[in-house]
Structure 1
Amino acid sequence: MADFSLEDIKILRERLGTGMIDTKNALVEAGGDLEKATELLRLKGAKGNAKRADRSTSEGIVAAKVVGNSATMIELACETDFVAKGEKFVALSEKVLDAIVAAGAKTVEEALAAQADGKSVADAISEEAAIIGEKFELRRVTVIEADAFEIYMHKTSRDLPPQIGVVLGYTGSDAETARGIAQHISFANPTVLSREDVPAADVENERRIVEEISRGEGKPEAALPKIIEGRLGAYYKQVALLEQDYARDNKLSIAKVAQDAGITVTGFARFKVGA
């Protein structure tokens, strides 16, 4: 029998987070050599990563960090909520986020190439996935530039890490109102800041749809332009933040709430795990 102790098993499990049987088998194969056993377990995990490549990652965590005039938010995905709420996965998300911020990465490609403790973020994620035995994926990265920020992280379940994250960039000093708007974004899910930011192709497509619907309802020809514009207004309320009715007071638009508070929303991002 290989020469190793229960203490060796404990050390290796704490180092890699592997199961008892896999750890013991690796030590047997390595003749009790901790470093060789570590290598064997990592190679086994890497092979498992390849097999898991086609699996879906519908769980995970969102995390954000502000440094100076930049706020970075990421979505790190995994397969199960059990892993998502684990200490190792949460710690990995923090490590990955710190590395991305330090590198100034703004895209997933740049983020994966960033360095984390002497290795790339891609390798750090892959190694941890191999140890835990699930597929991990850095799905999204965004960077918002602004004078001031409000970060809102929402838990959809008490025992899970944040599943919805919002970064709001603004000018002004009313942090309380900014937080209220960030919370509104988490609920209302706007996709652009203002109606001017909606792609022209999307507007024209919506115009075509509402015109077809209005004509199908037999609306008078003379009334069609006004009806179509009214329905386009409803569409803008769905997608443009400043057009939306404030969740805390639907008699006020977000634009009016911001104006009354003396703040100007300059940008935002919203991530929802798996969406």
Structure 2
Amino acid sequence: MAAVTATDVKRLRDATGAGMMDCKKALTESDGDYDKAIEILRVKGAKDVGKRLERSTTNGLVVSRDRALLELDCETDFVAKNKDFSALAERLMDIALETKPADAAALLATEVDGQTVEKLVEGESARIGEKLVLSRFTSFDGPTATYLHKRSTDLPPAIGVAVQYSAGSEDAARSLAMHIAAARPRFLTRDEVPAETIETERRVAEQTAKEEGKPEQAITKIVEGRVNSYFKDFVLLEQPSITEPKRTVKQVIDEAGLTVDRFARFEVGQS
């Protein structure tokens, strides 16, 4: 039986993106035959697709190009910084910009090279040996500023923000995108907050106030205060500006002459 060296394992791992132990087992099984080891890994990857369905994908990357954002997730940071994984994300973005799908679901159903994008991702999942998920995609029509943020210098961007604006400068819009990346707003204005969400916040606030023993006559005011706190936390225009905490985002962008139409924020591992 041929001896399997660390160099052999590294070469196979670099070529396939498979785990170190899987590479070592494949080389042992193939008696050191590199091409046969690749074939073994491909077969194993295809068989393991079903097993990967329940795994969590808390790593990955966000790519941005031509007023669009795309999030591709994986299981480990090792794969997240793998060049083949990055290349897949860029290829998916190429397909999206060419076919202009409405969202990630439409992109997954898009036909390319005789197969759907969903099958393409599944094939790469089998080859790499991890669950891969095309989580989100969006694109904007008007002037758009984007910002990508890395959680760590050795990893690809894990947060992506796009801000579409109809008045103002790109610099002001990009500064706002940086705020959004850090402050995690969910809505542009309070009018966008679903009525059921507001009702839930009111219900929780009222029940909490009662359990805290607050006077009955004060509960209405307390509830309104807590609902307003929710707006300040999650409505972009009502958030305190990160650069000027004593002013709201609306005050800051109004002074800059920036009119925001919509925004999107993707963060790997977050819904």
Compute the TM-score of the two structures, normalised by the length of structure 2: 0.82
Deviates more, 1:18-27 or 1:82-91: 18-27
Structure 2 CA distance, aligned partners of 1:108 and 1:141? 5
> Aligned partners of 1:218 and 1:28: how far apart in 2?
74
* 1:123-134 matched pairs, under 5 angstroms: 123-134=119-130
Q: Structure 1 residues 184-193 or 100-109, which shifts more? A: 100-109
Which residues of structure 2 form unaligned runs of 5+?
Answer: 1-11
2:150 counterpart of 1:155: yes
Superposed counterparts of 1:164-179, under 5 Å: 164-179=159-174
Q: Secondary structure at the match of 1:106?
A: coil
Report the equivalent of 2:64.
64
**Percent of pairs identical after alignment?**
40
- CA deviation vs aligned residue, 1:124-177 (integer Å, no higher than 9, x gap): 21222222211111122233x342111111101110001111111111232222
SS in 1 for 2:78: helix
Residue pair 2:48, 2:126 contacting (<8 A) in 1 also: yes
Report how far residue 42 of structure 1 moved: 3.7
CA deviation profile, 1:38-62 (whole Å, cap 9, x unmatched): 7775444211222322222111111
Q: Contact conserved, 1:23 with 1:41, CA < 8 A, in 2? A: no
Which structure 2 residues correspond to residues 188-227 of structure 1 after superposition, within 5 A? 188-215=183-210, 216-219=212-215, 221=217, 223-227=218-222
Report SS of the residue matched to 1:73. Answer: strand
Q: CA-to-partner distance for each residue in 1:189-221, whole Å, 9 max, x for gaps? A: 111111111111111221222233344443461
CA contact (8 A) 1:63 1:75 kept: yes
1:7 maps to: none
8 Å Cα contact 1:13/1:23 also seen in 2: no
Alignment of 1:234-245 (within 5 A): 234-245=229-240
Gaps of 5+ in 1: 1-11
Q: Secondary structure at the match of 2:108?
A: helix
- Does residue 70 of structure 2 align to residue 74 of structure 1? yes
Give per-residue Cα distances to partners, 1:73-118, cap 9 Å, x unaligned: 2221111101101111111111112112212112332111224455
Instruction: Answer yes or no: is the 8 Å Cα contact 2:26–2:38 preserved in 1.
Output: no
Per mean C-alpha deviation after superposition, the further-off stretch among 17-26 and 114-123 is 17-26
Which of 79, 84, 95 is residue 99 of structure 1 equivalent to? Answer: 95
By percentage of residues, which structure has more strand? 1
Distance 1:227 1:196, change over 3 A: same
CA–CA distance in 2 between the matches of 1:131 and 1:113? 21
- Alpha-carbon distance in structure 1 between the residues aligned to 2:70 and 2:17: 24
Classify 1:197/1:65 alpha carbon distance in 2 versus 1 (closer, same or farther; 3 Å): same
Matches of 1:77 and 1:56, distance apart in 2 = 9
Aligned residues: 256
Match of 1:249, SS? coil
Task: Give the whole-Å Cα distance in 1 for the aligned partners of 2:98 and 2:221.
Answer: 52
What is the TM-score normalised by the length of structure 1? 0.81
Preserved contact between residue 185 and residue 236 of structure 2 (Cα < 8 Å): yes
SS, match of residue 245 in structure 1: coil
Map residues 111-130 of structure 1 onto 2, 5 A cutoff: 111-130=107-126
Matches within 5 A, 1:182-193: 182-193=177-188
- The one-letter code of the counterpart of 2:99 is A
Corresponding residue number in structure 2 for 1:246: 241
What is the CA–CA distance in structure 1 between the aligned matches of 2:31 and 2:126, rounded to whole Å? 18
**What one-letter code is carried by the residue in structure 2 that aligns with 1:203?**
I
